Amino acid sequence: MLFPTLDFGLFFLPVLLLVWTVGQASNEWRKIILLLASWIFYGAWDWRFVLLLIASAALNWGCAQAIQRRLDDGRSAQPWLGLGVAANLAILGFFKYFGFFIDQLAPLLVKAGWGRDLPLIEVILPVGISFFTFQGMSYLIDIARRQTAPATFLDTTLLMSFFPHLVAGPIVRASHLVPQFARVPKLTRGMVATALILICWGLFKKTVIASELATGLVDKAFFDPTAQSGLDLLAGAYGYAVQIYCDFSAYSDMAVGLAALLGYRFPRNFLSPYRSGSLQEFWRRWHISLSSWLRDYLYISLGGNRGGVWFICRNLMITMLLGGFWHGAKWTFLIWGALHGGVLAIERLWREWRPAGLPALPRPLAILIIFHIVVAGWIFFRADTLDGALAFFTQLWAFRPGVALASPLLCGLIAFGLAIHFTPPALLPALGRRVAAWPAPLLGLATGLAILIVDAMRFEGVAAFIYYQF
Amino acid sequence: MKPLADVFAESLMIDAASVTDDLAYQSIKEWDSVAHMVLVTALEDNYEIMLDADDIVAMSSVAKVREILAKYDVTA
């Protein structure tokens, strides 16, 4: 079930009605309704994986209890923490990376006479698995670091299964959500207004900008770069930067909005990432819940900023390489991670050794340079194979004349997708306050109208969100 | 729109005069995790905004709340 579909609407409206009627009477029933709804939502992809989700929640709940007991007894939490993290990693590893390693080993296995068994050990990837295993791990680490207290079984299961964030994030931590589960939430006008704005805005970004750029430009440019002109490839690369932003941030906006309509607040996941003047700043604005996860649980565990400058560079590189690998077991993702890790390390070294008195780059120029580094990374990220990515760069360098794909409409969408990065940061709350003052029937009518307008503007069908596969 | 001190006083059920900038989360028994969520809703209600989950976690003192509200274009 994808958010921007009628199916999802038909699923969401009864859930909304139930939680604000039956769910008002008892907080426990409210959470049970949300839990069942989440399993139905997830089960719409594949029922079997609902069991995996429940097993994973039970595992993390059990480990959390054991860790807390050891801490209460004044003993080290390490054995249970290690076991819990290893179990989460094992689930993630089996479903996500098993295939990659089997593929790499395939020639050896064939040589050993096991070639016939290869198709049998192929594994289907459950949707959103990396999001809920990451949530599980951070939950256990937070408890071991005494930053959060273990939640009840119901709260733990709901934290991990809550459908707005289940399949493509944002990564919601126990400290974000469990305190909100403590009592029946109150829905305020500001919350409803902000939620509806986010949902409509997300629908527009996803179904109009991202889908249009994907089908009209990006997919064609990346399908066979050797057949395209230089300008088309350049537009394709910029187009993908706008597409992936509009696609992913739209999912996050809708997730935040849907959760808010149910009475819960999520962390924001994007903050105009392409207006960053350094790559470090980019990662404070892009997929914030993942980058802060990597910072708090991986980078800090590696030693963080505690050592010398080379030690910090090593940690940055490892963190970004693993961040790349998290996206999938492909060389293109590893190169993407290495590029980001490398540039982050160079930024760090430059800060250390920058000659005194050298004037800083003007901010617009810095933004332009960082944007192009990010775009270069996206070419690896988007290309299906390493050869495909290299062909893209070679053809772009050759810059063959002509324009076939980059129509004025598509270029306009790219310009629009970049221009929205430069709106004032407080625009959303300002709009929310204005909309909150509207009478409820007007707000309902305006939402319906906005959805109809977006529907009229969009093209046939809705492509899956890019981040579903991660 | 109520002044910030009143929102704090009503949510935490304390005297408005005791709401000073350095009043911190969990420094008094009235400002515990349950009251924190009451405070969040009261702030959202009063200023007609929706707070980000990260900001809710970061609201560690009255001064910090004021700083966070500024991000939402609220002068409190």
Q: Given this model, what pLDDT does residue A29 score?
A: 94
Q: Given this model, what pLDDT does residue A124 score?
A: 67
Tell whether A242 and A146 lie within a shared domain: no
When pLDDT is cut at 50, 70 and 90, the band that residue A360 belongs to is confident
| Chain A, nearest residue to B73 by Cα | A426
Residues of B in contact with A183 (CB under 8 A): 34, 37
Tell whether A179 and A254 lie within a shared domain: no
Average pLDDT of the residues in A354-358: 86
Would you call the peptide bond into A170 cis, given omega within 30 degrees of 0 as the criterion?
Answer: yes
Tell whether A357 and A398 lie within a shared domain: yes
Q: Given this model, what pLDDT does residue A49 score?
A: 87
Q: Which of A185, A213, A232 is the last residue of a domain?
A: A185
pLDDT beyond 80 at B52:
yes
C-alpha to C-alpha distance for A195 and A268, rounded to whole angstroms: 12
A190 part of a folded domain: no
Q: Could you report how far apart the first and last alpha carbons of chain A are, in Å?
A: 16
pLDDT tens digits, one per residue of A251-301: 999 999 999 999 999 998 999 999 999 999 999 999 999 999 999 998 888
Q: Give the residue numbers spanning the domain of A305.
A: 196-469
When pLDDT is cut at 50, 70 and 90, the band that residue A116 belongs to is low
A421 part of a folded domain: yes
pLDDT beyond 80 at A374:
yes
Tell whether A355 and A212 lie within a shared domain: yes
When scoring A180, A191, A266, A431 by the number of chain B Cβ atoms within 10 A, the one with the most, hence best to mutate, is A191
Given an 8 Å threshold on Cβ–Cβ distance, is B34 in contact with A265?
A: no
Average pLDDT, chain A: 90
Q: Given this model, what pLDDT does residue A97 score?
A: 75
Q: Which of A185, A214, A242 is the last residue of a domain?
A: A185
Q: Given this model, what pLDDT does residue A120 score?
A: 52
Between A328 and A145, the higher pLDDT residue: A145
Q: What is the distance in angstroms between the Cα of A54 and the nearest Cα belonging to chain B?
A: 25
Q: Given this model, what pLDDT does residue A466 score?
A: 73
Q: Given this model, what pLDDT does residue A257 score?
A: 96
Q: Given this model, what pLDDT does residue A126 score?
A: 78
A137 part of a folded domain: yes
Tell whether A255 and A169 lie within a shared domain: no
Q: Given this model, what pLDDT does residue A423 score?
A: 94
pLDDT beyond 70 at B3:
yes
Task: Find, among A34, A3, A35, the residue nearest to A16 by Cα.
Answer: A34
Q: Which of A166, A185, A204 is the last residue of a domain?
A: A185
When scoring A186, A256, A268 by the number of chain B Cβ atoms within 10 A, the one with the most, hence best to mutate, is A186
Cα–Cα distances in angstroms (integers) from residue A302 to residues A270, A295, A315, in the given order: 26, 10, 6
Q: A295 at the B interface (CB within 8 A)?
A: no
A75 part of a folded domain: yes
Average pLDDT of the residues in A66-85: 92
pLDDT tens digits, one per residue of B8-32: 999 999 999 999 999 999 999 999 9
Tell whether A149 and A298 lie within a shared domain: no
Given an 8 Å threshold on Cβ–Cβ distance, is A176 in contact with B49?
A: no
pLDDT tens digits, one per residue of A157-179: 999 999 999 888 799 999 899 99
Structural domains in chain B, CATH included, are: 4-71 (1.10.1200.10)
Q: Given this model, what pLDDT does residue A330 score?
A: 86
Residues of A in contact with B54 (CB under 8 A): 176, 267-268, 288
A49 part of a folded domain: yes
Facing residue for B37 by CB, picked from A180, A188, A194 = A180
ipTM of the prediction: 0.88
By annotation, the residues of A acting in catalysis are: 327
Q: Given this model, what pLDDT does residue A469 score?
A: 66
Instruction: Kindly state the percentage of chain A with pLDDT values over 70.
Output: 94
> Do B71 and A216 touch, CB atoms closer than 8 A?
no
C-alpha to C-alpha distance for A151 and A406, rounded to whole angstroms: 52
pLDDT beyond 90 at A118:
no
Given an 8 Å threshold on Cβ–Cβ distance, is A429 in contact with B49?
A: yes
Tell whether A349 and A222 lie within a shared domain: yes
User: Any idea what DSSP says for residue B46?
Assistant: H
Q: What is the distance in angstroms between the Cα of A152 and the nearest Cα belonging to chain B?
A: 16
pLDDT tens digits, one per residue of A120-154: 555 667 778 888 899 999 999 999 999 888 999 99
Q: Given this model, what pLDDT does residue A400 score?
A: 86
Tell whether A158 and A100 lie within a shared domain: yes
Between A316 and A327, the higher pLDDT residue: A316
Number of H helices and E strands in chain B, helices first, is 4, 0
A347 part of a folded domain: yes
**Out of A85-99, A120-134, A180-194, A318-332, least confident range:** A120-134
C-alpha to C-alpha distance for A430 and A21, rounded to whole angstroms: 30
The count of domains in chain A is 2
A1 part of a folded domain: no
Q: Given this model, what pLDDT does residue A327 score?
A: 85
A453 part of a folded domain: yes
Tell whether A159 and A215 lie within a shared domain: no
User: Any idea what DSSP says for residue B22?
Assistant: T
Average pLDDT of the residues in A434-444: 92
Q: Given this model, what pLDDT does residue B27 score?
A: 92
Q: What is the distance in angstroms between the Cα of A64 and the nearest Cα belonging to chain B?
A: 20
Tell whether A201 and A169 lie within a shared domain: no
Q: Given this model, what pLDDT does residue A329 score?
A: 79
3-state secondary structure chain A: CCCCCHHHHHHHHHHHHHHHHHHHHCHHHHHHHHHHHHHHHHHCCCCHHHHHHHHHHHHHHHHHHHHHHHHHCCCCCHHHHHHHHHHHHHHHHHHHHHHHHHHHHHHHHHHCCCHHHHHHHCCCCCCCHHHHHHHHHHHHHHHHCCCCCCCCHHHHHHHHHCHHHHCCCCCCCHHHHHHHHHCCCCCCHHHHHHHHHHHHHHHHHHHHHHHHHHHHHHHHHHHCHHHCCHHHHHHHHHHHHHHHHHHHHHHHHHHHHHHHHCCCCCCCCCCCHHHCCCHHHHHHHCCHHHHHHHHHHHHCCCCCCCCCHHHHHHHHHHHHHHHHHHHCCCHHHHHHHHHHHHHHHHHHHHHHHCCCCCCCCCHHHHHHHHHHHHHHHHHHHHCCCHHHHHHHHHHHHHCCCCCCCCCHHHHHHHHHHHHHHHCCCCHHHHHHHHHHCCCHHHHHHHHHHHHHHHHHHCCCCCCCCHHHHC
